[in-house]
A = this chain, B = another copy of it.
Amino acid sequence: MSTPVYNFGAGPAMLPIPVMEKIRDELLDYNGMGVSVIEISHRSEEFEAILARCDTLVREIAHLPDNYRILYTHGGARMLFSAIPMNLLPLKPAQMAVYSETGNFSRQANVEARRYGDIRVASSGEANNYDRLPPFTRDMVPDEASYAYITSNNTIYGTQYKEYPDMGDIPLVVDATSDMLSRPIDFTRVDLMFASLQKNLGPSGLAAVLIHEDLIGHAMPNTPSLLDFKVYNDSHSLSNTNNTFAIYVMCLVMEWLKDQGGVEAMAKINEDKANLLYDLIDASDFYSGSAHIADRSLMNVIFNLPNEELTAQFLKEALENGLYALKGHRAVGGIRASIYNAMPVAGCETLAGFMREFERTNG
């Protein structure tokens, strides 16, 4: 390839280039063993060192309080749509929880949870096609609720909580699949945060869970073992053979994130990257953003062109210029630029340059 390719895919998303190069360079011979990291036992000392190192880095980077645990759970975030109600509804006798519906994934989460208890939707952005975050405050959640649930960032609609609601004594569960470790986490408000790896943390197939220890050990009796948080906690996520490749890559991504200056530095970079695009969109009559400005996402920049023909032409020419996977989700159309941690500033600069030129030629 002569032109560098910038991958704006929503996920599985691009990984940092130094991480990808390291995976390649040591793929056939991990640590001088003469075998690959994907060919060694999850109980080998080498893999256990990777897992321990990943824990240490996550704890350091996230400033994870001592009474929170890190779990690596099978099946990505979607499996947690089932596991969370199965583990947390029994926290209180009413077996009830309250969800805020801010898009496709929070909707799927509350639909799945209804199998297991009394699930209420306190607020929904559906009437506005999820273009803003509906209010979600402590007074909207009954005291009998076992937990309150939000999705931190909505990849399809391009909205994101700037700060999380203060739920007081009610445990707050946050699906941060598309923005975990893209910025600091306020653990005074968050009791359980989870993310599929494939946006900011690694490859697909696995989720990382940051959980207050008091939320572990309450699973319903019919909970499958591999959906029970206590099983993961008691076994250091190795009650069976875990997705060792994903954990290995996540550990490399954490090393890289630490080298970048951690989430504090990354939050600033992510803001700068998003502003390169939003400033252009806000100043343009050709491009139009879809999300309300107060709620828009630093991770997924969603915008539209004047018509579908121009959208198709934009996508075609973008690809010819090495700008890959900019097509919006099928539910909303338009353009989506996913700019997670691994997207370099140069990628956003290149996209902004292309957008200016496209507007100049076609506007």
Q: Which residues of A contact B (CB under 8 A)?
A: 1, 3-5, 7, 9-15, 20-21, 23-24, 27-29, 32-36, 38-42, 44, 74-79, 81-83, 86, 112, 115-116, 196, 198, 203-206, 221-222, 224-227, 239-246, 249, 322, 324-325
Contacts and interface: CB of A to CB of B under 8 A. Distances in A.
A5 B33 contact: yes
B35 A244 contact: no
Contact of A245 (B86, B115, B204, B225): B204
A76 B240 contact: yes
B36 A15 contact: yes
A9 B41 CA distance: 7
Question: Of residues A32, A205, A322, which shows the largest number of chain B Cβ atoms within 10 Å of its Cβ?
Answer: A205
- Report whether over half of chain A's contact residues are helix, strand or loop; otherwise say mixed: loop
B204 A1 contact: no
Contacts of A27: 20, 23-24, 27
Contacts of A38: 12, 15, 203-204, 249
Contact of A243 (B82, B205, B226, B240): B205
Copies in the complex: 2
A88 to B, nearest CB: 14
B34 A205 contact: no
Given A1-B29, A76-B74, A241 B196 contact: yes
Question: Of residues A15, A241, A324, which shows the largest number of chain B Cβ atoms within 10 Å of its Cβ?
Answer: A241
Given A24-B27, A222-B222, A245 B9 contact: no
29 contacts: A1-B34, A7-B35, A9-B35, A10-B41, A11-B241, A12-B41, A12-B42, A12-B244, A20-B27, A20-B39, A23-B27, A24-B24, A24-B27, A27-B27, A34-B324, A38-B203, A40-B325, A74-B74, A74-B205, A75-B75, A75-B226, A75-B240, A82-B225, A112-B224, A112-B225, A198-B241, A205-B241, A205-B244, A245-B245
